[in-house]
Amino acid sequence: MFESAEIGHKIDKNLYKTEEPVLREALLDAQYELKERGEFPVIILINGVDGAGKGETINLLNEWMDPRLISTRAFAAPSDEERERPRMWRYWRALPAKGRIGVLFGSWYTDPIMHRVAGDLKTAEFEHQIDEIVRFEKMLAHEGVVLLKFWFHLSKDKQKQRLQQLEKDPKTRWRVTEQDWQHFKQYDKFVSVSERVLRETSTAEAPWIVVEGEDANYRSLTVGKLLLKEMRKGLEAQSKEQVISDAAPLLPPIDNLQLLHTLQLDQEYSKKDYNEELEKLQGRLNLLSRHPKFNEHSVIAVFEGNDAAGKGGSIRRITSALDARQFAIIPVAAPTEDERLQPYLWRFWRHIPRKGRISIFDRSWYGRVLVERVEGFCKEAAWMRAYGEINDFERQLVEDGAIVVKFWLAISKEEQLIRFKEREQIGFKRFKITEEDWRNREKWDNYVCAVGDMVERTSTDIAPWTLVEANNKYYARIKILKTLCDAIEKALD
């Protein structure tokens, strides 16, 4: 992969002097248009061998364009807040908002490459991280992100020369560290690992661009022109904004036998049994949450269900068994402005708990394949790919030690009507019922269909759905608490 980056590319000074101002103006122009339209972000990854001009390029980009609209992030050792979350959390945190340019010095590639070179990352895990990256970048591409992945290369001889050169000049000496020379010793291994990574991650959506780093003029113009080209391509593409598509009725299976129809929604459960069992289960949950090994895990509990199915009440039965310092409830409503400027899953990544903590999502990332699908708030392509993205997201959580439990609370259409009417009458419950609830109710059959698809596509071994028959609240709450306790117990074993 690096052959054509060792052949001595060069741009002479005069040509550079002619081209640079033109390029610069065009970049600025594109940058302002990007900002004005605010439809997508640009992410530039800067990776490669030491001394190949990575730092200079970053500074140059900030000089050429309006630095107020660029955020540059370097990734040193993760902070403690980052270490207690999945590997990709810190990169989600660093994503630029739509309309802005994010320059990442080092990136999600740095860790797998460096650990592989150091020999402390097994093949399977290495492959796994690479796969994760490919899926992540695919998601970015689908979200409309313009992603440029630059790899700055120098041959071994040139790298040595370059480091020596930098060391000679008092103005640049500081830039060569002991670590650089350590890395130099591992040049061959580094290049071989990198080559493999680049090959496996050069996808149609996000190809690598290898840049020979020796000649600053060549390097700078190459980066600038490619950046301009991709920005213009993004700007000239069809506006990527989501349009409200026709909310066509969903097609049920031809025999109309739906998953939700197979549930026995009415379940016998007496108040007396409930009270006894509730106390036992809450005690069990409390003990589990204080188990010494609990601090190696986190719990992520997702609550979805029909309106008025009893999500709030079930959540309260869980939280009252817990120390309030330990949990956070995330009510999911319409995204805020900050959130709308990011890829879909960003607003959920924000709330991923640290180890030892519990996040309870009252509605969740499944909104995309439920309400957004049914109401036509997003295009079919967007909710279709959401299943895979969600599975990928949850896998990352589980692999990092999270215990993920997901509940669908199902009530019958008749039971819902009774509860809606009750809510309209009782004082402090009147806030719980809105026009929207009545509108959703009209689309009951479409939701039945969407839930069936959702469960089929996202109930995985590591993060299974639990369908909860919820016409009887007592039964539902007990089933939920029991499922949660079982899941935690299993993980602690």
Nearest to 101 by CA among 45, 26, 151, 53: 45
Cβ 412 vs Cβ 471: under 8 Å? yes
- Stretch of 181-189, 313-321, 384-392, 478-486 contacting a copy of itself, by CB under 8 A: 313-321
Quick one: 294 or 475, whose CB is closer to a copy of itself? 294
What's the token pair of residue 400? 């990092």
Cβ 278 vs Cβ 481: under 8 Å? yes
For the CB of residue 329, give the shortest distance to a copy of itself in the complex, in Å. Answer: 5
Q: Enumerate long-range contacts of 189-193, CB under 8 Å, 24 or more apart.
A: 189/117, 190/49, 190/113, 190/117, 191/2, 191/49, 191/156, 193/113, 193/116, 193/117
For the CB of residue 440, give the shortest distance to a copy of itself in the complex, in Å. Answer: 19
Determine how β-strand 358-362 pairs with β-strand 298-305. parallel
Cβ 305 vs Cβ 365: under 8 Å? no
Quick one: 323 or 399, whose CB is closer to a copy of itself? 323
Query: Quick one: which of 233, 290, 413, 421 contacts a copy of itself (CB under 8 A)?
Result: 290
Q: Which amino acid is at 163?
A: L
What gap in Å lies between CA 100 and CA 68, rounded to an integer? 9
Quick one: 76 or 254, whose CB is closer to a copy of itself? 76
Quick one: 29 or 489, whose CB is closer to a copy of itself? 29
Q: What does the DSSP assignment read for 27-77?
A: HHHHHHHHHHH----EEEEEEESTTSSHHHHHHHHHHHS-GGGEEEEE--S
Query: Quick one: which of 125, 127, 188, 338 contacts a copy of itself (CB under 8 A)?
Result: 338
Quick one: 70 or 371, whose CB is closer to a copy of itself? 70
Q: What does the DSSP assignment read for 184-240?
A: HHTHHHHHHHHHHHHHHH--SSS-EEEEE-S-HHHHHHHHHHHHHHHHHHHHHSPP-
Query: Quick one: which of 89, 105, 136, 151 contacts a copy of itself (CB under 8 A)?
Result: 105
Quick one: 12 or 323, whose CB is closer to a copy of itself? 323
Q: Which of residues 395-454 bind a copy of itself (CB under 8 A)?
A: 427-428, 431
For the CB of residue 487, give the shortest distance to a copy of itself in the complex, in Å. Answer: 21
Q: Which of residues 23-82 bind a copy of itself (CB under 8 A)?
A: 25, 28-29, 32-33, 35-36, 55, 58-59, 61-63, 66-74, 79-81
Quick one: 105 or 475, whose CB is closer to a copy of itself? 105
- Stretch of 147-155, 308-316, 380-388, 481-489 contacting a copy of itself, by CB under 8 A: 308-316
**CB atoms < 10 A from the CB of 246, how many?**
6
For the CB of residue 189, give the shortest distance to a copy of itself in the complex, in Å. Answer: 26
For the CB of residue 427, give the shortest distance to a copy of itself in the complex, in Å. Answer: 6
Task: Mark 67-93 as b/e (b = at least 16 C-beta within 10 Å).
Answer: eebbbbbebeeeeeebebbbbbbbbbe
For the CB of residue 384, give the shortest distance to a copy of itself in the complex, in Å. Answer: 29
Quick one: 9 or 35, whose CB is closer to a copy of itself? 35
- Could you give the 3-state DSSP secondary structure of residue 360? strand
Cβ 397 vs Cβ 301: under 8 Å? no
For the CB of residue 320, give the shortest distance to a copy of itself in the complex, in Å. Answer: 5
Cβ 284 vs Cβ 411: under 8 Å? no
Could you tell me where the beta strands, DSSP code E, fall in 86-223?
A: 101-105, 146-153, 208-212
- Stretch of 230-238, 242-250, 330-338, 405-413 contacting a copy of itself, by CB under 8 A: 330-338
What's the token pair of residue 276? 């006894």
For the CB of residue 298, give the shortest distance to a copy of itself in the complex, in Å. Answer: 16
Q: Which of residues 204-243 bind a copy of itself (CB under 8 A)?
A: none
Query: Quick one: which of 233, 316, 421, 439 contacts a copy of itself (CB under 8 A)?
Result: 316
The DSSP secondary-structure symbol of 434 reads -
Binding of a copy of itself by 171 (CB under 8 A): yes
For the CB of residue 55, give the shortest distance to a copy of itself in the complex, in Å. Answer: 7
> How many residues lie near a copy of itself (CB under 8 A)?
51
Positions touching a copy of itself (CB under 8 A) are 25, 28-29, 32-33, 35-36, 55, 58-59, 61-63, 66-74, 79-81, 103, 105, 171, 174, 283, 290, 312, 315-316, 319-320, 322-325, 327-329, 331, 336-338, 362, 427-428, 431
